[in-house]
Amino acid sequence: MKAVYAGSFDPITLGHVSVIERAFNLFDEVHIIIANNRAKSHYFTLQQRTELVRLSIPAEYNMRSHIVPFEGIVANYINEHKIDVVIRGIRNATDLDYELQLEQFVRNSTEADTIYLSPYTPYMQTSSSLVRMFFQSNKYTLALNYMTPDAYDQAICYMQETNQPPFK
pLDDT, tens digit (0-9, with 9 covering 90-100), for 11-44: 999 999 999 999 999 999 999 999 997 777 899 9
Domain CATH for 85: 3.40.50.620
Alpha-carbon distance 160 to 72, whole Å?
A: 29
Domain count, the chain: 1
Q: Are strands 113-117 and 29-35 parallel, antiparallel or unpaired?
A: unpaired
**Whole-angstrom Cα distance, residue 2 to residue 130?**
31
Residues belonging to the active site: 16, 40, 91, 128
Binding residues for substrate are 8, 40, 74, 88
Strands (E), 8-64: 29-35
CA distance 94 to 84: 26
Q: Which residue segment(s) compose the domain that 148 sits in? A: 2-162
Residues of the binding site for ATP: 8-9, 16, 89-91, 99, 123-129
For residue 153, is it within any domain? yes
pLDDT digits (tens, 9 = 90+) for 66-76: 999 999 899 99
